[in-house]
Structure 1
Amino acid sequence: MTEDKIHLRNIRTFGRRDGRPLSRRQQTLVDDLLPRISIERESDAPITSSSLFDEAAKDVWLEIGFGGGEHLIRRARQYPDIGLIGAEPFIDGVAKALGGIDDHKLENVRLFPDDVRLILPRMEAGLIKRCFILFPDPWPKRRQQKRRLIQPDFLDDLARVMAPGAPLRFATDVASYADEALWRILQHGAFEWQAEKADDWRKQPEDHEATRYQLKGLGDCAPVWLEFQRI
């Protein structure tokens, strides 16, 4: 078995993939729209801007774990010349995002309905000019924390696909995850923390669109906003 195959086999997708039954419209979108805008899982083809979009996008941004797609859809509407990749393993979240894409006739969004770690190795180096990781599954129990997304192997892959100078935004409302993510990202060495004062991680960025999960307030602390830049 090749090293790449072993790497993919060892990935354990965070969270459960199935949720409540889809509405008739959502199921239609999953059946008809998703195949047209999704990134194929069972493929070795390199992922580039031109392979994703009919006309190469000005830049390509990535949102990892987009939940219900609120933030992803707003960004796509704000920046029609930017290509957005959204990765989300929960089918109900994917269905909600498809509804927004269909409602607004968005042509600049591509979805990967699975764990982003499965496609990062296929992405062209430097493809991603901005990345968002907003309120990822915190796996709050100590025995589960090894399944958190922010791990050295993931950061290796993310650093490779992010262009020098590209911003990375990480947000969580779980104190232990904020501490761990900050430590791991700084230890990695490919990202520079942009904070200069406490308000830089305490205050919600002005350009942020609140996510469905964020508004539930299920964490144990106020949201923490960690802004980094790829060195």
Structure 2
Amino acid sequence: MAEERRTRSTEAFFGRRHGKRLRPKQDAALAALLDGALIDLGVAAPADVRTLFPGSVENVRLEIGFGGGEHLLSELARHPQSGFIGVEPFVNGMAKLASAVDEAGGTPSNLRIYNDDATELLDWLPEASISGIDLLYPDPWPKKKHWKRRFVNPVNLDRFARVLKPGGRFRFASDIDTYVDWTLLHCDAHPAFTWPAQSADDWREPYEGWPGTRYEAKAIREGRTPAYLTFLRG
């Protein structure tokens, strides 16, 4: 039964798991990252998620679907006092991150990763344990028949609300207008979240320290304007 639930959940929120075959060096870097930083959901979650990290961290943030890891790597360097959990089920994306940390000297002490369905991790984490959640350029599933696969939905917002600390941030970036509108409507309808934007610059300007991503660069080249939304957990 658990495997059936996992299969349905996985099919609901992301697509393929593998791209091109990894080169031996990539494969080795990925194995090292998984061996040293993968979160094991087979054991009980710690009461204090900061203990997932070997060093001392002040808070813990979560990035769901980090792609090639451009933003995650930037935030790791900018906020060494924070712990980061990166979730990416796409093997080639995880391998790209693994290669980057390998070239930089090894897995940062403030990084932990999960390589499967983010909803499983969200259900495992203790309540009010996360300071921020980033969902950046998620798959928009543009066809109406696939909208049920969009990660932003009432059930997942309930999950976000459960694990976020009061005052915690949920950040959502996308270049797809319909998904931006969808997210605004769903967060507005959810009692746990508020959108504190005061002017257009609050969603047109990238987040502080934003490094840009390859997905964003492609969107801009193709004439799509990104939006950067921030919601607060009440």
Contact 2:50–2:83 (CA under 8 A) maintained in structure 1: no
**What is residue 206 of structure 1 aligned with on the other side?**
208
- Of 145, 153, 156, 1:154 maps to 156
Q: State the partner residue of 2:24.
A: 24
Give 1:230's match in structure 2, choosing from 220, 228, 233. 233
Is it true that 1:221 corresponds to 2:224 in the alignment? yes
* Structure 2 alignment gaps of length 5 or more: none
Deviation at 1:100, TM superposition (A): 2.1
CA contact (8 A) 1:60 1:83 kept: yes
Segments ≥4 residues shifted beyond 4 Å:
4-9
Answer yes or no: is 1:127 the counterpart of 2:121: no
1:146 CA drift (Å): 1.1
Which amino acid is 1:46 matched to? A
Could you tell me which residue of structure 2 aligns to residue 145 of structure 1? 147
Contact (CA 8 Å) 1:65, 1:88: kept in 2 or not?
yes
SS at structure 2 position matched to 1:165? strand
* Residue aligning to 2:88: 88
What are the ranges of 5 or more consecutive residues in structure 1 without an aligned counterpart?
none
Report the 3-state secondary structure (helix = DSSP H, G, I; strand = E; otherwise coil) of the residue aligned with 1:157.
helix
Tell me by how many angstroms 1:55 deviates: 3.5
Q: Distance in 2 between matches of 1:91 and 1:6?
A: 21
- In the alignment, the residues of structure 2 paired with residue 213 and residue 22 of structure 1 have an alpha-carbon distance, to the nearest angstrom, of 21
Equivalent residue number for residue 184 of structure 1: 186
| Counterpart AA for 1:118 | E
1:136 to 138, 143, 153: 138
**How far did residue 187 of structure 1 move?**
0.6
Q: What is the TM-score when the length of structure 2 is the normalising length? A: 0.90
Residues 64 and 133 in structure 1, CA contact (< 8 A), matched pair in contact too: yes
Pairwise CA distance, 1:44? 4.6
Relative to structure 1, the CA distance from residue 96 to residue 78 in structure 2 (aligned partners, 3 Å threshold; closer, same or farther) is: same
* Pairs aligned (count): 228
The aligned residue for residue 46 of structure 1 is 45
User: Equivalent residues in 2 for 1:166-177 (5 A)?
Assistant: 166-177=168-179
* Cα shift at 1:34: 1.2
TM (norm. structure 1) is: 0.91
Q: How far is the alpha carbon of 1:8 from its aligned partner?
A: 4.3
- Distance of 2:134 and 2:223 partners within structure 1: 21
Paired residue type of 2:190:
H
Taking only aligned residues, the RMSD between alpha carbons, in angstroms, comes to 2.0
Decide whether the 8 Å contact of 1:135 with 1:173 is kept in 2: yes
* Distance (Å, rounded) in 1 between the aligned partners of 2:192 and 2:3: 25
**Structure 1 residues 156-165 or 202-211, which shifts more?**
202-211
State which drifts further: 75-84 or 204-213. Answer: 204-213
